[in-house]
Amino acid sequence: MKKPKEPKFYRFFARPFIGLPLKFFIRPKVIGYENIPKEGRCIIAGNHTNNLDSVILAAINKRVVHFLAKDSLLKGWKKPLFVGMAIIPVNRAIHDKNALNNAIIALEEERLIGVFPESTINRTKETTILPFKIGAVKMAAETGAPIVPFVITGEYKLFSKDLCIEFLKPIKVSKKEDLTKDNEKLMKIISKKLEEKRK
């Protein structure tokens, strides 16, 4: 299996000058990292708590994570940064099939995709998790890629003592199954773990 190359900006700037300092100063506790395969197609999917989620997840991963993210990040002065961070832009104003197709192509190239199925940061205190979009399970069904669910708990603070990222056991999605049910299953797995960790 040919290992995908890291984008040069990601390797020589984003990882050493953004990712590593953030990892050092925030110091998240990481559990279950071994659940992410060292190579091959894979999707990581979990809850969205903060604008820094994708950056910290990229920092703690040894592989390049291609996150699906809103296309507004590729406008103006931010464009070179986020292009270098290898994101896959999504137009959230429409049902963006191009973003989904680009993510599927990346998976077929044996890459690692990152998804926040809630599609936005959950800022509510009443709801453990927001309803999931179906994109993650659809990509998994199309490519056979496993989904590694993750949960983020705690706060982003300097030398944080409670920020924790936990990767759970991979799950498989069958092309023959109902994607709505698979999506509900993924959501329940993440919601249940969040409720356990917040008790």
Using one digit for the tens of pLDDT, what is the confidence trace for 103-116? 999 999 999 999 99
Say if residue 39's pLDDT is above 70.
yes
Does a structural domain hold residue 177?
yes
Q: Out of 5-14, 139-148, 188-197, which region has the weakest mean confidence (pLDDT)?
A: 5-14
pLDDT at 97: 80
Q: How far is residue 111's CA from residue 124's CA, in Å, rounded to a whole number?
A: 33
Average pLDDT value over all residues in the chain: 87
Task: Report yes or no on 1 lying in a domain.
Answer: no
Within-domain flag for 175: yes
d(CA 115, CA 43): 7
Nearest-10 Cα torsion for 177, 169, 140, 106: -170
Q: Which residue range forms the structural domain that includes residue 49? A: 8-198
pTM: 0.89
Q: Indicate if the pLDDT at residue 172 is higher than 90.
A: yes
Is 164 part of any domain?
yes
Residue 56 lies in a domain: yes
We report the CATH number of the domain holding residue 82 as 3.40.1130.10
Six-digit token string for 122:
């959950």
Provide the number of structural domains found in the chain.
1
Q: What per-residue confidence (pLDDT) applies to 94?
A: 63
32 in a domain, yes or no?
yes
Residue 1 has pLDDT above 60, yes or no: no
Instruction: Please give the average per-residue pLDDT across 123-143, as a whole number.
Output: 90
Q: Is residue 2 assigned to a domain?
A: no
